[in-house]
Amino acid sequence: MAKTKIAYFCQSCGFESAKWLGKCPSCQQWNTFVEEVIEKDPKSVPTWKVSSTTQQRANKPVEVADITFTEEDRLLTPDKEFNRVLGGGIVAGSLVLIGGEPGIGKSTLMLQLALNMPNIKVLYVSGEESEKQIKMRAERLTPQPPEGGAFVQSGVISPPLGGRGGGACYILTETSTQNIFKQIEELEPDLVVVDSIQTLHSSHIESTPGSVSQVRECTAELLRFAKESATPVFLIGHITKDGAIAGPKILEHMVDTVLQFEGDRHHVYRILRTVKNRFGSASELGIYEMLGEGLREVSNPSEILLSQRDEPLSGITISATLEGMRPMLIETQALVSTSAYGTPQRNANGFDAKRMSMLLAVLEKRCGFKLGAQDVFLNITGGIKVEDPAIDLGLAAAIISSYQNIPIPFKTCFAGEIGLSGEIRAVNRVEQRIAEAQKLGFEQIYISKYNMPSAAQDKKRIDLSRYTIDIKMVANIEEVFELLFG
């Protein structure tokens, strides 16, 4: 018999050690090492249908010029937001990991995707819920099957007769990877969804499900299956209390795409954000609205992020931001009040608190506003988090508007980054921001004059005449406040 191997794994980063350590040398965390029993038979491999040429072919070095490349065929889903986040659709043989808070809607999103895939045979593997629980959710997502909808019967979810779709969704409640691959070999699905990766276990590893070695081994088996069979696989993953995906960090390196499902459970809007994508942009964003019958994609997020007000209010501005290739107008709010305690409060919701401190220092140093004894609160409406530096100008205007108690005009928006010397720096793709503001009926937009250095000399390169919106080009923050507040 093979000798049992015992190793110690860090539960935070997955670092492996032959003995127990008090402090992890990789992530510097204390008391995170757990003993795990490892016993792997090298002769046994996961059983799935694969050609013998795939296993026996030896790779040889090939010159770059001799490699033939064809554009990969992507599988388009009925969900346009999901297609955008994936970079244009599902790539064959890709391994996608989706993480998010408990109860945020990960299982709902993936089951809704599995139900609505046309002409596709989908296998939904669940290690957390029974068939009856999944059936209840499926009936809630499609209470009365419309044309092309789906219904559940005897473990198989398939579209009704006469519908637009021609595929079917099969439910499998199993946690053993060997049994899962056996069912995959018999069913031969076109798409596999695993909910969740922390519940699977492989017989090749003797540790408990959810441990570092089990998560790594099960992911490796699914990765090999996806690449050798060209079948896309979606993994749902748990997250830790810090918001990171649970398990070793190598899990995110192994998969092709990492998606983060975010949002406040007390609000109806959910955000699907790309963290890593080998087949497209890693800065795309999809917005959904959580309803009783499932998730509804939001095609124009600017309309939901802007509140409808009847009267002008101080401390509220509109900023033009970009998430991936999509321009959005968001409402930025600020509240400045005299501090009732010795130390003024600084609180930012949806914005980096350190960058807020930098903006306050610039306003005090360059513009003379005495904000050192003031409580300052910033809020990005809609519950989203923004990292685009182009909202600096809008936030600074909102802070001074609240400080002076002077409202900003309704149809005014901002797009500019503020430097430490008070200058308004240029931002990327400013024309898309201007076009979005004009489409939503705004009358003027403040941008950096350095954004279009050739606008005055070469009208053909950047044609400002095609915009009906009034474009205010400013060089520094003092010029902005003079135009806004006199």
CATH topology for 303-485? Ribosomal Protein S5; domain 2 (3.30.230)
d(CA 486, CA 479) in angstroms, rounded, equals 10
Task: Specify whether the CB–CB gap between 193 and 110 falls below 8 A.
Answer: yes
pLDDT over 90 (residue 209)? no
Q: What is the pLDDT of residue 2?
A: 53
- Backbone phi, then psi, for 65, in 5-degree steps? -65, -20
Closest CA to 193 of 302, 110, 257: 110
Q: Give the other-Cβ count within 10 Å of 326's Cβ.
A: 19
Write out pLDDT tens, residues 281-305.
888 888 898 888 889 988 888 777 7
**pLDDT band at residue 232, thresholds of 50, 70 and 90?**
very high
d(CA 17, CA 10) in angstroms, rounded, equals 8
d(CA 386, CA 349) in angstroms, rounded, equals 10
Token pair in block for residue 85: 């986040």
pLDDT over 90 (residue 134)? yes
Which string of DSSP letters, residue by residue, matches 238-268? -B-TTSSBSS-THHHHHSSEEEEEE--TTSS
Q: What is the pLDDT of residue 171?
A: 95
Annotated binding site: 100-107
Write out pLDDT tens, residues 300-340.
887 777 776 777 889 999 999 988 778 889 999 999 999 88
Annotated binding site for ATP: 100-107
Write out pLDDT tens, residues 375-413.
999 999 877 888 899 999 999 999 999 999 999 988 899
Domain ranges of the chain: 5-38, 73-299, 303-485
State the architecture of 73-299 in CATH terms. 3-Layer(aba) Sandwich (3.40)
Q: What is the pLDDT of residue 240?
A: 75
Write out pLDDT tens, residues 56-85.
456 788 888 888 877 777 899 999 999 999
d(CA 207, CA 201) in angstroms, rounded, equals 8
**pLDDT band at residue 158, thresholds of 50, 70 and 90?**
very low
